């Protein structure tokens, strides 16, 4: 799975279209019809180093903004409890990998892949997320 996230370095709602890789390549690399981007919120609705949950085509997606402004998206469902709570976990890092810890039983997940770092057999679905203008958009990977 490839994951892409846009490096946003400013909080202000200035349009910071990526100048390398990023949005344009993303769209041109794939047939446009296969990617259904859905706008979920403003970039400024995302608190730094924290998560929110959005309904995307009926699915619960947890969107995280890390300290460096990057965005990540995972399924909101904690596979260990069955509760939809990952967006309410603590965002951090483990050995350089950005992570979220489930608030229920504290297992840690890799934000880039959805893999559970405490139990490699378990993985939660990861989503693609990007910033378009000031808008945050999410799509199924």
Partner 1 sequence: MTDLVVIGHGPAAHRLVEAVRERDTEGRWQITVVGEEPRPAYDRVALTSYLTDGADLAYPAHDDAVRVRTGERVTSIDRAGRTVTTDAGDTLRYDTLVLATGSVPFVPPVPGAGAAFVYRTIDDLDALRARAAGRASGVVVGGGLLGLEAARALQGLGLETHIVEMAPWLMARQLDEGGGAMLRRHIEALGLRVHTEVMLERVEADAVHLAGGTVLPAGVVVFSAGIRPRDELARDAGLEVGERGGIVVDDACRTGDPRIYAIGECALVGGQVYGLVGPCLSMAEVVADALFGGAARFAGADTSTQLKLMGVDVASFGDPSADALNVSYTDPVAGTYKRLVVSDDAGTLLGGVLVGDASAYPTLRACVGASLPAAPDRLLFGGTEAVAGAMTEETMVCSCNGVSAGAIRSAITDGGLTDLPAVRACTRAGTGCGSCVPLVKRILDEELTSAGIPVSRALCEHFDHTRAELFDIIRVRGITTFSGLIAEYGRGRGCDICKPAVASILASLGTGHILDGEQAGLQDTNDQFLANMQKNGTYSVVPRVPGGEITPEKLIVIGEVARDFGLYTKITGGQRIDMFGARVEQLPLIWKRLTDAGFESGHAYGKALRTVKSCVGSTWCRYGVQDSVGLAIRLELRYRGLRAPHKIKSAVSGCARECAEAQSKDFGVIATEKGWNLYVAGNGGMRPRHADLFATDLDTETLIRYIDRFLMFYIRTADRLQRTASWLESLDGGIEYLRDVIVADRLGICDSLDAAMARHVEDYSDEWRATLEDPERLSRFVSFVNAPGTPDPSIVFEPERDQIKPVIPEVVSR
| Residue 46 or 126 with smaller CB distance to partner 1 | 46
State how far the Cα of 64 lies from the Cα of 135, in Å rounded to an integer. Answer: 14
Site membership for partner 1, residue 108 (CB under 8 A): yes
Q: Give the dihedral sign, CA 100/102/103/106.
A: negative
Contact set for partner 1, span 27-66 (CB under 8 A): 39-41, 45, 47-50, 52-55, 60, 63, 66
Buried b (16+ CB within 10 A) or exposed e, 35-73: eebeebeebeebeeebbbbbebeeeebbbbbbeebbbbb
Site membership for partner 1, residue 11 (CB under 8 A): no
Helix, strand, coil shares of the chain, percent, nearest 5, are 10, 40, 50
Site membership for partner 1, residue 8 (CB under 8 A): no
* HSE-CB of 134 using CA atoms within 13 angstroms: 7
CB of 108 to partner 1, least distance (A): 7
The alpha-carbon radius of gyration of the chain (Å, integer) is: 14
Site membership for partner 1, residue 117 (CB under 8 A): no
Site membership for partner 1, residue 105 (CB under 8 A): yes
Site membership for partner 1, residue 101 (CB under 8 A): yes
H or E element, residue 24: helix 22-29
The residue range among 1-9, 12-20, 29-37, 104-112 that interacts with partner 1, by the rule CB under 8 A, is: 104-112
Among 31, 32, 96, 120, binds partner 1 (CB under 8 A): 96
Q: Write out the residues near partner 1 by the rule CB under 8 A.
A: 39-41, 45, 47-50, 52-55, 60, 63, 66-67, 77, 79-85, 88-96, 98-99, 101, 103-106, 108, 122
């Amino acid at each position: 799975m490839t994951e892409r996230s846009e490096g946003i370095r400013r909080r202000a709602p200035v349009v910071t279209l990526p100048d390398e890789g990023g949005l344009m390549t993303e769209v041109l690399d794939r047939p446009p019809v296969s990617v259904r981007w859905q706008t979920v919120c403003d970039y400024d609705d995302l608190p730094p180093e924290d998560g929110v949950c959005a309904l995307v085509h009926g699915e619960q997606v947890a969107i995280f903004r890390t300290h460096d402004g990057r965005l990540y998206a995972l399924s909101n469902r904690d596979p260990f409890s069955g509760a939809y709570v990952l967006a309410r976990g603590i965002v951090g890092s483990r050995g350089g990998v950005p992570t979220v810890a489930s608030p229920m039983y504290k297992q840690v997940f890799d934000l880039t892949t959805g893999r559970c770092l405490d139990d490699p057999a378990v993985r939660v679905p990861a989503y693609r997320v990007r910033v378009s203008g000031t808008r945050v958009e999410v799509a199924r990977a």
